[in-house]
Structure 1
C-alpha cells in the first residue's frame, strides 16, 4: 500500500508540471505581458515607458520560458514561468495584480465555499441514494416508471433555471430568505439555505438515475438470488447487501467530488453573491488576472489527484478483495 501511494505521488509531479505548462501557454497565447499591462493601466495611461515599468514591477519583463542570455540554472530560473508558476510547488502563490496575497485570499474564501458545498454534497448524496434504492425496490412498477420520468425531466432542465426560479419564488415572492449576499457568523445560514436547496434539487435527476442503474445491476447478481432463496426479505437485500456491494461506484462519484467541494461552485456563488473560491475564479477570469487563474487551476489539479488516490484507497476498505500494489 505504501509503495503504491508513493508511486502515485511521484506520478503526480509530471502531471502537475504539465498542467502548469499548459495553463501558462494558453494564457500567454491569448494575452502577452504587454496586453496585460495595457489592460491594467487603462487607455489614458498607456505609454511604452508605463508598460515597461508595469512589467518590471511585476516580473513580466523576463523571457517567458527560457532565458537565452543567462547562464547556468538562470536559463530556467530567470523566466516568467519559474517566477510565476513553478514556485507554486512549494506553496508560493504570489500576489494578485491588485497586490493582495493570493494564499490569504484563498484561505479567507474557502470557508464560504465549503459552507455551501459540504451540505449540498451530504444532503444530495443521502437524497439521491435513498430515492434510487426506493425506485429499485419498486422496480418495474408505476412508481419506478414515473420516478424515472421525473429524473429525466429534472436532468433536462438547465441549472440556471433552478437558480433563477428559486430566487424568484422563494426570495422574491415568498420572501423567506435573502435573494443574494453573505453574512458572517450565525447569520450565514439565512444566505446558505437557498443555494444548498437548489444544489440538492438540481442534482437529484442525474444522481438518482446513476445510482438506480448501479443498484439494478447488483440485483441481478448471484448473491441476491441466493439471499432470496434463503428467505431474506427484499428490503433487507436492498439495504444490507445491494447498498453495501454498490459502494464502489458510490465512492467513485463521492470522492471525485472533493475538488468541487474546495473549489466552490462558479455559477452558484456568482448568482448568489457569495465570496467563495468560485466567484474568486470568475472575477480573476474577467479581469484576466493570470496569477489567480493559474493558482486556482493548480490547486484544482492537486485536489483532483488527491481525490483519485483516495478513491483507490477507499476501494480496499469497502471491498477487501481489492489490493493495491
Structure 2
C-alpha cells in the first residue's frame, strides 16, 4: 500500500510538471508568438486608443507573470473566463457542447472498440486464410480513403436517396437526438475499425503463438476458452494503452463529422473559435486536452497493475 501511494505521488508530480509546461507553452504561443490580440480583433485600422481600451478590458496590459498565473490557475480550476466573441462563459459552452459530442463519440467508441477487439480475436483462428487476408486488404484500402468520402456517400445514399436518416441537424434530448446520430456513429465505427484492426490483429497473433497457448490447446481446452480466457487476458495491457489514449478524442475528435452533419458539439466550438480568433476558447481547448491526456495516462498506469499482477507500481 505504501508503494502505491509513493507511485501515485510521483505520478502527480509528473502530471504537475506536464501541466505547467503545457500551460507555459500555450501562454507563449498566444501571448508572444501570435501577436497583439487587440490588433487581431479590431483590425489594422483600429486607433491606438481603442486598442488600449480593449487590451485593458481583456487584461492584456497586465504583467506577463500575472497573465501566465491566470492561465496556470485555469488548468486546475477550469475557470477559463469568457469567450471574446460570444461573451459566454467558456466552461458553460464546453459543458453543453461536450454532452452533445459525447452522444456521437461515446457510442462509436464503445461499439467500435468492442467490435474490432472481438473480430481481431476471433480471426486469429483463420489467420493466413483468404478471409483473413481479404479483411486486412479491405482495411488498408478503406483507411486510404478520406473521411469526407464516407460522409458524402453516407449523406447521399442513406440520407438523400433512401431517406433512412436526416442528412444533418440535431435535437437535444435522449430520444430526439437518436435519428441524427445514427449515421455519424456508423461512420465513426467503420473508420475506427479500419484504422485499428491491423494493430489488434498483430497483438492477438503475437499471443497466439506463445508457448502457454500451445500448452492450453494441448490440454484439450476449447478454442473459445483459449482465446477469451488466456489470449485476451494477456493482451489487456496494449488494449488499455490504446483505449486510454483515445479517451481525450471523445470530446475533440469528431470535428469533421460534427461540421458536416451540423451537430453543435465541441468540434463546431473549436472551428468557430479558430475562425474568429477566439483565443480564450482555443486556450481552454488546448489546456483541457493536455489535462485529460495526463489524467488518462495515470489511470492507464493504475489499470496495468489491476489486469496484470506481474506489473509492480
Equivalent of 1:188 in 165, 177, 180? 177
Contact 1:120 1:196 in 2 (8 A): yes
Change (3 A) 1:83 1:302: closer
Give the aligned partner of residue 91 of structure 2: 103
Equivalent of 2:299 in 310, 313, 316? 310
Give the aligned partner of residue 71 of structure 1: none
Change (3 A) 1:323 1:236: same
Give the aligned partner of residue 13 of structure 1: 16
Structure 2 segments unaligned to the other structure (5+ residues): none
Change (3 A) 1:125 1:84: closer
Question: Which runs of structure 2 are paired with 1:202-281 in the superposition (5 Å)?
Answer: 202-281=191-270
Deviations 1:73-127 (A, max 9, x none): xxx33xx323455443333211110321111111111111111111000100111
Contact 1:264 1:276 in 2 (8 A): no
Question: Which runs of structure 2 are paired with 1:42-53 in the superposition (5 Å)?
Answer: 42=43, 46-53=46-53
Deviations 1:257-296 (A, max 9, x none): 1111233422221221211112211211111111011111
Question: Which runs of structure 2 are paired with 1:54-69 in the superposition (5 Å)?
Answer: 54-63=54-63, 65=64
Equivalent of 1:28 in 14, 27, 31? 31
Deviation at 1:22, TM superposition (A): 1.1
Deviation at 1:196, TM superposition (A): 0.5
Give the aligned partner of residue 68 of structure 1: none
1:166 aligns with 2:154: yes
Contact 2:23 2:71 in 1 (8 A): no
Change (3 A) 1:39 1:157: same
Change (3 A) 1:103 1:244: same
Give the aligned partner of residue 88 of structure 1: 75
Q: What is the TM-score when the length of structure 2 is the normalising length?
A: 0.93
The whole-number CA distance in structure 2 between the counterparts of 1:144 and 1:20 is 46
- Match of 1:182, SS state, is coil
Deviation at 1:240, TM superposition (A): 2.2
- Which structure has more relative contact order (CA 8 Å, sep 6+)? It is 2
The whole-number CA distance in structure 2 between the counterparts of 1:217 and 1:200 is 25
Deviations 1:203-232 (A, max 9, x none): 212211111101100011110110121112
The whole-number CA distance in structure 2 between the counterparts of 1:88 and 1:303 is 10
Contact 1:137 1:235 in 2 (8 A): no
Q: What is the TM-score when the length of structure 1 is the normalising length?
A: 0.89
Equivalent of 2:110 in 96, 113, 122? 122
RMSD: 1.7
Further displaced range: 201-210 or 257-266? 257-266
Structure 1 segments unaligned to the other structure (5+ residues): 66-75
The whole-number CA distance in structure 1 between the counterparts of 2:75 and 2:297 is 21
Contact 1:154 1:204 in 2 (8 A): no
